[in-house]
Amino acid sequence: MVKVRKTITRITCASLMAMGIALGTSTVMATSAVAQDAAVEGRQFGTKAGTKVNEAQTLGTNGQYGAANALLNEALSIEGLNAYERSTIYTMLGQFYYEQDQLGQALSNFQNAINAGGMLPKEIDSLEVSIAQLMIANGQYTEGARRLEAWVNRTGQRNPKYTELLMQAWIQADNYNAALPWAEEWFRSASPKERKHFDTLNFLYNNLGMQGRQADIVKEMIVRWPEDKTLWDNWTSLLANGGRETEAFEVNKMLYLGGALTSEQDLLKIVQYYSYYDMPYQAALILEKEMNAQRISRNADRLVQLSDLFRQAREYKRALPVLEAAANASGRSKSWADYGEALYNEGDCGKAQTAFQKAMDMGYDRGKSWMLIATCLYEEGQADERPSCDMTREQRISSPKVIKNNNAIAAFRKVPATSREYSSAKKWITFVSDENQAYEDRCEFMANLERDLCFIKMDNAEEARIFNEGKFVLEEEDQYCMPFKGAWEEARGLQSSE
Query: What pLDDT does residue 181 have?
Result: 95
| Spatial distance between the Cα atoms of 71 and 61, rounded to a whole number of angstroms | 14
Query: What pLDDT does residue 39 have?
Result: 41
* Domain ranges (residues) in the chain: 1-138
Query: What pLDDT does residue 24 have?
Result: 38
Q: Are 20 and 38 in contact (CB under 8 A)?
A: yes
Q: Are 442 and 450 in contact (CB under 8 A)?
A: no
Query: What pLDDT does residue 407 have?
Result: 92
Query: What pLDDT does residue 498 have?
Result: 52
Identity (one letter) of the amino acid at 88? T
| Spatial distance between the Cα atoms of 290 and 268, rounded to a whole number of angstroms | 9
Length of the chain, in residues: 498
pLDDT along the chain (498 residues), means of 10: 46 49 39 37 79 90 90 89 90 90 85 87 85 87 91 86 92 94 93 92 92 87 84 79 78 78 87 86 91 91 88 85 85 88 87 92 92 90 84 86 90 93 92 85 78 86 83 85 85 72
| Spatial distance between the Cα atoms of 105 and 125, rounded to a whole number of angstroms | 20
Query: What pLDDT does residue 35 have?
Result: 38
Query: What pLDDT does residue 41 have?
Result: 53
Contacts of 93 (CB under 8 A, 6+ apart): 69, 72, 73, 105, 109
Query: What pLDDT does residue 497 have?
Result: 59
Query: What pLDDT does residue 194 have?
Result: 93
Q: 1-138 in CATH: which number?
A: 1.25.40
Query: What pLDDT does residue 451 have?
Result: 82
